[in-house]
Amino acid sequence: MARRAKSTKFRRNRNPVTWLLRHAQMSLSSLGRLSRNPISTAMTAAVIGIALALPSGLHLLVDNVSQLSSTWDGSASISLFLSEGVSDEQADIVRKQVALRADIAETRLIDRDQALEEFRRLSGFGEAIDLLDQNPLPAVVLVRPQNSVQSADAVAALARELQAYREIELAQLDLQWVERLGAITNTIERAVIILAALLAGAVLLIVGNTIRLEIQNRHDEIEVVKLVGGTDAFIRRPFLYEGIWYGLLGAAIGLLLVLSSLYLLDGPVQRLAGLYESDFALAVIDPASLLGVLFGGPLLGLAGAWLAVGRHLAQIQPE
């Protein structure tokens, strides 16, 4: 009797509309479950938020600094400080001589009066300058090498050649600090990536552990659902959605932290930029990091939940 011919296939519900509907219901009920424990939910989300805010905030900072250094166009300029006795006419001759060289793209003369004027304006020692009876500043020729002279060594060699001119007291490379800044930002950038990876791991563990506790709390429920024919996917789903919600809430908190830090930094940075006679302003968060946090958070939450669910749901079997 039991072996009579009959289809042994089980009927499975594969209607995509009901499937979507069930997912929507499940995601909302997971959110509802989280909202019933607002304090613990907020604390978990805040930890995730801080973990996400740290790397994205640092990334933003590095981004801003490298923007600052890239306004030098990557090309180094050389300041040629002329000797003290060189007159403005002689200075212009020097400039023309230098400009004739094939490896020089552009030259500009800042004569002694201009230099004084600029110094008076920027240094804040204007009144002290007025007390001097003669201009202590030398004339300066600003030189931008051809683009063909690119490497730091080549530029340095050029500077040494220029320094050999009799009228030139000092050929100072402006490249150095730009390079150093670049190296520093590169280092920090790398550190930020490492930090981001570590904190992403932390988010995984936080969500994983939270979901693990949740699974333990709902042990009986999971058992009963398995008894009445709930599939693993059905049982997994609310926990995965919880992970996603944790990630999303964390991402929102993280963004809020970054944006409010930007807001707090904006005033001081503007003042600092003003002092450096720069119109530099803090860039607002770039779309890439914005999307990174908004999608990365939920993705990490999902992954963390998946880790916990994969490990612990199989252990719960009805008896």
Partner 1 sequence: MIRFDNVAKRYATGHEGLSGVNLHLAPGEMAFLTGHSGAGKSTLLKLIGLLERATRGQVWVNGRNLNKLKSRDIPYHRREVGMIFQDHRLLHDRTVFDNIALPLVVAGMGHAEVKRRVRAALDKVSLLKKEKVFPITLSGGEQQRVGIARALVSRPPVLLADEPTGNLDPELSREIMELFLQFNQVGVTLLVATHDVELISSFGKRIVNLRDGRVADDSGGPA
Which window, 117-125, 162-170, 228-236, 288-296, contacts partner 1 (CB under 8 A)? 228-236
For partner 1, the binding residue among 92, 167, 169, 221 (CB under 8 A) is 221
Question: Where does this chain touch partner 1 (CB under 8 A) — which range of 134-142, 189-197, 222-230, 290-298?
Answer: 222-230
List the one residue from 33, 101, 120, 226 that touches partner 1 (CB under 8 A).
Answer: 226
Size of the site for partner 1 (CB under 8 A): 29
Among positions 9-48, residues that touch partner 1 (CB under 8 A) are 10-13, 18-19, 22
Q: Could you tell me the smallest distance in angstroms from the CB atom of residue 265 to partner 1?
A: 47
Query: Judged by CB under 8 A, does residue 228 bind partner 1?
Result: yes
Q: Which residue type occupies 200?
A: A
Closest to 54 (Cα-Cα) out of 211, 202, 268:
202
CA distance 258 to 113: 46
Neighbouring C-alpha atoms within 13 Å toward the C-beta of 267: 4
Q: Return the residue of 46, 165, 223, 316 that touches partner 1, per CB under 8 A.
A: 223
Least Cβ distance, residue 16 to partner 1 (angstroms) = 12
Q: Does 313 bind partner 1 (CB under 8 A)?
A: no
Q: Does 271 bind partner 1 (CB under 8 A)?
A: no
Q: Which residues bind partner 1 (CB under 8 A)?
A: 1-4, 6, 8, 10-13, 18-19, 22, 220-221, 223-232, 234, 317-319
